[in-house]
Structure 1
Amino acid sequence: MAAADSTFLSIKGPGSINGEAFHKLSALATLALLVGAFAFGNSAFLSVNNGLTLLLQTSVIGLLGIGMTMVIITGGIDLSVGSVLALSGTVAGLLVKAGVPVPVAMTVAVGVGAVCGLINGLVITRMRITPFVATLGMMMIARGTALQLTGAAPISQLGEAFGWLGNGALFRMVEKMPNGLSKVVFPGIPYPAILLLIVAVGAAYLLRRRRLGRHIYAVGSNEEAARLSGVNVERTKIAAYVMSGALAGLAGNVLMSRLVTAQPNEGVMYELDAIASAVIGGASLMGGVGGVSGTMIGAFIIGVLRNGLNMAGVSAFIQQIIIGFVVILAVFIDQLRSRR
């Protein structure tokens, strides 16, 4: 352990840490500027309801982004998370439709995501196939399986309990009006946002305080040096992909629960949003650099962009173009940092 820690510390010197902190502060300043610009253009942007809507919309991308960050830190990539999300959510819907209790069905769905991640990790480490190709294959396999299981048709009428995770809220306050109708005083904090916070804190603790987290950074910084220091490189990479798959399964539960319908066509292009949130937040595609807090900032930058542009009436196609430019800029900055 001491050898691995010394390798980790020698690879990630003060310069790289300061560069990561600067990138994170830049992303935070960008987020603040975006919030200010959209609030200036539309006073409803800073309303409580819109803020809670933003939290809800960002939760799925945030969960995917955390898993993607772990994979990117190892120097890999996971293009399958959007399809794994769809497959996991579909499996949960099918199980609930068959009479399985919702908590059990959702737990199985997370397990399905973890198995997909395990397969990705094994293909990459044992078959020596590049992460891009391996996860691209899993993307097609998972999507095809979801479509085959459902006949490409949505699974509806899953019951109120299935929508509890995605549509429930903590501290929701409702009062009865004199006419007998109900009035929402405070919509509450969405459960998906609370779940995202718990996962983010746990992932940050894992990366910064646990042996596995240190090994993930060491593998991404210098794989050969990590191996010579006693780090089990293959097991570390597999663990990163398993966590990415499991979080994709969890995100699938959240998204399908919000819709109260299992949609096999959901999650298309979500992997790009997950990659964008990690890169915008400071994760380096070269590996060895990144963190959960930066990814959360990146996820909210994407969420604020989508939300603000929607409120401004900008089409979804133009939104994709703008986010594409943002991603290119973030990667360009990362390249400049790597050269320095």
Structure 2
Amino acid sequence: MSHATKSATSGGPSLAGFMPDTEKLHRLSALLTLLLLIVGFSLASQAFFSVNNVLTILLQTSVIGLLGIGLTMVIITGGIDLSVGSVLALSGVATGMTIKAGLPVVPAMAFGVAVGAGCGVVNGLVVTRLRIPPFVATLGMMLMARGLALQLTGAAPISQLGESFGRLGNGALFRVVEMQANGFPKVIFPGIPYPAILLLIVALAAAYMLRRRQIGRHIYATGSNEEAARLSGVRVDETKLYAYAMSGALAGLAGNVLMSRLITAQPSEGVMYELDAIAAAVIGGASLSGGVGTISGTMIGAFIIGILRNGLNMAGVSAFIQQIVIGAVVIGAVWIDQMRNHR
């Protein structure tokens, strides 16, 4: 029986207590890569460290980070979720439609998150009850969620959702605005974007859950050795279902953040976002074989993806070349993971 499995039932040490040295090294190398990217792009462009650009990076990374946190839980169980980009779009559309129907913004956003969680539950049930491989199950959900979002809207964006809908995506804490003599506002301090604050809260809550709560230990135990975990009393199917539900709910939350930034519900948004989220988790040290991964590592991976895209944009690199670079980074991260598993 693995150490992780024992701790699942005995309330053993925290994740840091049994984290392999190779995993710590992987996360350290990811952090070093992040620092090198920051230094490199700062030297390449003086505008990289401007306040506006830093805020842009935070806003872009918040969506990837939220998706990545949910995917990390699924990947640790040994699964995968390819549907988060489409679920993001469907949840945003659900929020937009309920606001158009007259529901206030907060309950409407809660409904959007519930729709995402529902998609995650369906993924979990298909994986655990029908025994369909996660890749195929979530690929099916990816197609169905996208198709439903397009069908419900006629492939047209839902606009005129009101200023209050855009507050989550465009608001900021401690923002200071001064009215000028000409009657136009001047931003003195842009503040801390709400999406960045939301990402921090969700990341801390998810890290606490994985490190300190029983469900977190069960998630690690399931991914480390599913059969041993089952024999030790872990409800493996329920654990997987929880992970997929959380992934769907966080995709719904990310959908609210993204659509709020646009102040429009776009059924075509979120295409290929699942690949960025998977890349963030893998770059941060999550193993596609299961049993390994941390929220802090995923956050590092998300910022690597966000800063890489932002820096390449500022350097004038085309979006097509960016895809090639991100793809190469993902392949490299998975190769390092395979080498780690062999060792």
| TM-score bucket of the superposed structures, by smaller chain | over 0.9
Answer yes or no: is the 8 Å Cα contact 1:281–1:296 preserved in 2: yes
2:121 to 112, 118, 121: 118
1:89 to 89, 92, 97: 92
How far the C-alpha of 1:176 sits from its partner, in A, is: 2.3
SS class of match (1:185): strand
Matching residue of 1:5? 8
Matching residue of 2:211? 208
- Find out whether 1:334 has 2:334 as its counterpart: no
- Find out whether 1:307 has 2:310 as its counterpart: yes
2:290 to 287, 290, 293: 287
Answer yes or no: is the 8 Å Cα contact 2:57–2:310 preserved in 1: yes
Aligned length: 339
The Cα offsets for residues 271-325 of structure 1, whole Å up to 9 and x where unpaired, read as 0001000000000000000000000000000000010011111111100000000
Distance 2:53 2:214 in 1: 40
Answer yes or no: is the 8 Å Cα contact 2:173–2:192 preserved in 1: yes
How far the C-alpha of 1:47 sits from its partner, in A, is: 1.2
Matching residue of 2:108? 105
- Find out whether 1:164 has 2:174 as its counterpart: no
Distance 2:133 2:184 in 1: 59
Kindly tell me: are residues 14 and 159 of structure 1, through their superposed partners in 2, closer, same or farther at Cα, counting changes over 3 Å?
A: closer
Distance 1:227 1:185 in 2: 57
How far the C-alpha of 1:13 sits from its partner, in A, is: 10
User: TM-score, normalising length from structure 1?
Assistant: 0.97
Distance 1:15 1:325 in 2: 31
Kindly tell me: are residues 13 and 172 of structure 1, through their superposed partners in 2, closer, same or farther at Cα, counting changes over 3 Å?
A: closer
Kindly tell me: are residues 239 and 15 of structure 1, through their superposed partners in 2, closer, same or farther at Cα, counting changes over 3 Å?
A: closer
AA aligned to 1:268 is: V
How far the C-alpha of 1:179 sits from its partner, in A, is: 3.1
Answer yes or no: is the 8 Å Cα contact 2:9–2:233 preserved in 1: no
Distance 1:93 1:111 in 2: 14
1:142 to 131, 142, 145: 145
- Find out whether 1:67 has 2:81 as its counterpart: no
AA aligned to 2:65 is: G
Runs of 5+ unmatched residues, structure 2: none
Matching residue of 1:236? 239
Distance 2:12 2:333 in 1: 26
AA aligned to 2:154 is: G
SS class of match (2:266): coil
1:206-285 superposed matches below 5 A = 206-285=209-288
Distance 1:2 1:75 in 2: 14
SS class of match (1:179): coil
Distance 1:157 1:178 in 2: 31
How far the C-alpha of 1:49 sits from its partner, in A, is: 1.5
The Cα offsets for residues 142-171 of structure 1, whole Å up to 9 and x where unpaired, read as 001101100111111111011011000001
Distance 2:338 2:40 in 1: 28
Answer yes or no: is the 8 Å Cα contact 1:8–1:217 preserved in 2: no
Distance 2:72 2:29 in 1: 18
Runs of 5+ unmatched residues, structure 1: none
How far the C-alpha of 1:48 sits from its partner, in A, is: 1.6
**Identity level (%):** 73
Distance 1:264 1:5 in 2: 40
How far the C-alpha of 1:2 sits from its partner, in A, is: 9.6
